[in-house]
Amino acid sequence: MSSSAKPIKTVAIIGSGLMGSGIAQVAAANGHQVTVVDQSQEIIDKASASIQKSLGRVVKKKFPDDPKAQQTYVADVMAHLSLQTDAIGAVKSADLVIEAIVENLDTKKSLFSTLDKAAPSHTIFASNTSSIPIKDIAAATSRLDRFGGLHFFNPVPVMKLVEVIRIPETSDETYSALEAFGKAVGKTTVQCKDTPGFIVNRLLVPYMMEAVRLVERGEATPRDVDTAMKLGAGYPMGPFELSDYVGLDTVKFIIDGWMEREPDNPLFSQSTLLNKLVEEKKLGVKSGEGFYSYDKK
Ligand code: NAI
């Protein structure tokens, strides 16, 4: 890290859903003081329970035969975490604010505009958005040089990558601090400009869409495409298994957004089959059916 960059010790995470609670867990587990914010006590209680459940899985692997060490570890991580509904209070003492709320530009802008007025001047802002340009979100603030993207992957405690995104205004100090934070929470970082899908989704989403188009043309079945990509390309999941896992509504949402921005890019074109499944609420694993059927629990 460059000498002028202040190391990140306190982190405010806004949004305690799938991603926010995962980011909070890895940040707290690596010694950061973390405040997680969401809209209601009920949501926060759910997030706290889900973090504890996830930590339960971590300690079983980390200390398989040592219940005392398991307890101490969980207690220590939880002592680094506080959950609340007051976003303004949370950012007042934060070195870094990570936003992981709903994927909607206006909602994100309105949040950041409020937080910009409340946070100290040294506080760095980052969004975990998957598909919205970071520059559009950052425009709601007066700290473009202290703004960037930290794109984590689901499930956060398991996936080893963080994409660190720079907008043209992101200062070297800010970038270094974000990169150092990513490493400090145990991840490998890669740097990318503010381009649709960054690195991973830019390659993955068109690949998943191309698999759907191949099936739409009647050239192969989803099962055979998945088998082919797992055994022939060494991928851990086939594109249809992956789409069902990510959620077909999410895949559609991402491709629709990109198509709006680059209508002439054939990689971002629509799929009738995907649109039909989403319309029928066949969204993948979470709804019990997508390209495949799943047991509803
Ligand atoms: P989620 O729906 O699980 O969680 C979002 C949370 O934000 C909810 O608990 C909601 O109550 C809360 N929220 C909404 N508006 C709020 C506000 N104004 N103030 C405080 N809390 C608010 O969503 P998820 O999946 O965690 O996604 C969050 C962000 O992370 C999105 O931008 C998404 O694109 C991005 N992302 C998602 C990935 C995924 O696999 N789900 C992967 C990487 C990034």
> Residue 270 is part of a domain; what is its CATH number?
1.10.1040.10
| Residue 147 Cα distances to 71, 140, 237, 285, angstroms | 37, 11, 34, 35
Q: Are residues 35 and 147 in the same domain?
A: yes
Protein residue with least CA distance to atom 42, ligand 1: 153
Tell me the whole-structure pTM to 2 decimals.
Answer: 0.94
Residue 3 marked in a binding site:
no
Query: Using CA atoms, how far apart are residues 107 and 217, in angstroms rounded to an integer?
Result: 39
Look up the CATH number of the domain holding residue 15. Answer: 3.40.50.720
Q: Are residues 77 and 167 in the same domain?
A: yes
- Out of 193, 221, 238, a domain closes at 193
Q: Are residues 150 and 54 in the same domain?
A: yes
283 CA distance to ligand 1 centroid (A)? 18
Q: Are residues 149 and 54 in the same domain?
A: yes
| Residue 19 Cα distances to 36, 50, 107, angstroms | 11, 11, 17
Pairing, β 161-166 against β 147-151: antiparallel
Confidence at residue 5, expressed as pLDDT on a 0 to 100 scale: 64
Q: Are residues 225 and 185 in the same domain?
A: no
211 CA distance to ligand 1 centroid (A)? 27
**Closest atom, ligand 1, to C-alpha of 101:** 7
Q: Are residues 16 and 147 in the same domain?
A: yes
111 CA distance to ligand 1 centroid (A)? 13
Q: Are residues 170 and 89 in the same domain?
A: yes
Q: Are residues 170 and 37 in the same domain?
A: yes
Buried b (16+ CB within 10 A) or exposed e, 187-211: bebbebebebbbbbbeebbbebbeb
Instruction: Say if 243 falls within a structural domain.
Output: yes
Work out how many domains the chain is built from and give that number: 2
Instruction: Say if 75 falls within a structural domain.
Output: yes
Protein residue with least CA distance to atom 3, ligand 1: 17
- Out of 144, 173, 193, a domain closes at 193
Q: Are residues 221 and 159 in the same domain?
A: no
Instruction: Say if 232 falls within a structural domain.
Output: yes
Residue 30 marked in a binding site:
no
The answer to whether 45 and 52 have CB atoms below 8 angstroms apart is: no
Confidence at residue 2, expressed as pLDDT on a 0 to 100 scale: 46
Per-residue pLDDT of the chain (297 residues; tens, 9 = 90+): 444 567 899 999 999 999 999 999 999 999 999 999 999 999 999 999 999 999 999 999 999 999 999 999 999 999 999 999 999 999 999 999 999 999 999 999 999 999 999 999 999 999 999 989 999 999 999 999 999 999 999 999 999 999 999 999 999 999 999 999 999 999 999 999 999 999 999 999 999 999 999 999 999 999 999 999 999 999 999 999 999 999 999 999 999 999 998 999 999 999 999 999 999 999 999 999 999 999 865
The answer to whether 160 and 189 have CB atoms below 8 angstroms apart is: no
Instruction: Say if 83 falls within a structural domain.
Output: yes
Q: How far separated are the first and last CA of the chain, in Å rounded?
A: 47
Domain of 95 in residue numbering reads as 10-193
Residue 108 marked in a binding site:
yes
Residue 38 marked in a binding site:
yes
Q: Are residues 217 and 185 in the same domain?
A: no
Confidence at residue 4, expressed as pLDDT on a 0 to 100 scale: 55
Query: Using CA atoms, how far apart are residues 231 and 118, in angstroms rounded to an integer?
Result: 52
DSSP class of residue 6 equals P
Evaluate the omega torsion of the peptide bond into residue 155 and state whether it is cis, within 30 degrees of 0.
Answer: yes
Q: Are residues 62 and 81 in the same domain?
A: yes
Instruction: Say if 2 falls within a structural domain.
Output: no
Instruction: Say if 292 falls within a structural domain.
Output: no
Pairing, β 10-14 against β 147-151: unpaired
69 CA distance to ligand 1 centroid (A)? 32
Instruction: Say if 296 falls within a structural domain.
Output: no
Confidence at residue 297, expressed as pLDDT on a 0 to 100 scale: 58
ipTM computed for the complex: 0.99
Pocket (CB within 6 angstroms of ligand 1)? 14-20, 37-39, 43, 87, 100-103, 107, 111, 128-130, 151-154
Query: Using CA atoms, how far apart are residues 70 and 56, in angstroms rounded to an integer?
Result: 8
- Out of 170, 193, 216, a domain closes at 193
* Cα angle: 148, vertex 28, 44; to 5 degrees: 85
Instruction: Say if 15 falls within a structural domain.
Output: yes
